[in-house]
């Protein structure tokens, strides 16, 4: 079996769990700031990591926005 890193060498999210992304963003921004940056109800109305993950796994456009915010934050942090 080949190394999975070689299968997706240009995917910066490869190997990063969605739960880790959400937990990182919540720790960094908090629920209120996160909702102001990405206006989805799961970050506003009774927010939790569990309910957010459930929503994000079923909603590709929202997941894409969360992943994009994470990538932007990581890019700024590495400078």
Share of the chain above pLDDT 90, in %: 76
39 in a structural domain: yes
Provide the domain count of the chain. 1
Tell me if 13 sits within 8 A of 69, measured CB to CB: no
Separation between Cα atoms, residue 8 and residue 43, nearest integer Å: 30
In 3D, which of 52, 76, 78, 79 has the Cα closest to residue 66?
Answer: 52
- Which tens digit of pLDDT belongs to each residue from 40-49? 999 999 999 9
Asked whether residue 8 is domain-assigned, the answer is no
Q: Is residue 44 part of a domain?
A: yes
Domain-located, residue 32:
yes
Residue 27, domain CATH: 1.10.720.30
Residue 2 maps to a domain: no
Domain range for residue 36? 17-77
**48: in domain:** yes
Please name which of 48, 40, 32 lies closest in space to residue 65, comparing C-alpha atoms.
40
CB atoms within 10 A of CB 34: 22
What pTM was computed for the model? 0.84
> Which pLDDT score, from 0 to 100, does residue 54 have?
97
């Amino acid at each position: 079996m080949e190394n999975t890193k070689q299968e997706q060498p240009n995917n910066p999210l490869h190997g990063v769990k969605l739960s880790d992304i959400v937990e990182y963003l919540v720790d960094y921004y908090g629920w209120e700031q996160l909702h102001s940056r990405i206006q989805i109800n799961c970050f506003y109305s009774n927010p939790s990591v569990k309910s957010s993950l459930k929503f994000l796994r079923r909603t590709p456009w929202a997941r894409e926005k969360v992943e994009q915010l994470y990538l932007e934050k990581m890019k700024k942090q590495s400078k």
